[in-house]
């Protein structure tokens, strides 16, 4: 994968990242559930220097995760509300893209599910994935 690209629902915010992602994960944390209105976030961690984002409607909101107990900077499009990415002070070299916003999601295959204790009880782990009780996101 030479470059990954994505955008928010309205298209005002676009991003790209060069090179191979450092990690993929699915996050079940309650903050991801609340901010997406769904079962959680697909996260793709990319090195911060490789990540570029543009758009005048990019906003961010800092939360102290109910599960994690430490701050997370959650960035989203203030025009359409799409979550775009999260950064964590304890992992300053990575940007965690909310991978449902990728233009091409065909290569996604998260092998780890984090904050599994908060998972919706009817949602079984994906085949081949390991569910753990802590992690980024
Ligand atoms: Zn938007
Ligand atoms: Zn999360």
Q: State the pairing for strand pair 3-7/41-47.
A: unpaired
pLDDT in tens, the chain (137 residues): 679 999 999 999 999 999 899 999 999 999 999 999 999 999 999 999 999 999 999 999 999 977 878 899 999 999 999 999 999 999 999 999 999 999 999 999 999 999 999 999 999 999 999 999 888 77
| Nearest-10 Cα torsion for 112, 84, 69, 33 | -70
79: CA distance to ligand 1 center in Å? Answer: 5
Strand order of the β-sheet with 83-87 is 58-64, 71-77, 83-87, 94-98, 41-47, 23-27, 112-114, 130-131
Among the bound ligands, name the one nearest to the CA of residue 80: 1
Among the bound ligands, name the one nearest to the CA of residue 34: 2
Domains of the chain: 3-131 (2.170.150.70)
Among the bound ligands, name the one nearest to the CA of residue 114: 2
| Nearest-10 Cα torsion for 9, 14, 18, 23 | -40
47: CA distance to ligand 2 center in Å? Answer: 19
Structure tokens given for 16:
């790209």
């Amino acid at each position: 994968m030479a470059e990954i690209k994505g955008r928010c629902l309205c298209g005002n915010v676009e991003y790209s990242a060069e090179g191979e992602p450092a990690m993929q994960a699915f996050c079940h944390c309650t903050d991801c559930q609340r901010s997406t209105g769904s079962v959680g976030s697909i996260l793709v961690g990319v090195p911060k220097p490789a990540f570029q984002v543009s758009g005048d409607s990019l906003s961010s909101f800092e939360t102290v995760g109910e599960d994690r107990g430490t701050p997370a900077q959650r960035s989203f499009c203030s025009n359409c509300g799409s979550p775009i990415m999260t950064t964590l002070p304890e992992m300053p070299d990575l940007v965690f893209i909310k991978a449902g916003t990728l233009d091409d999601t065909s290569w996604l295959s998260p092998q780890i599910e984090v904050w599994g204790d908060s998972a919706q009880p009817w949602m079984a782990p994906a085949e081949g994935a390991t569910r753990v009780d802590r992690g980024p996101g």
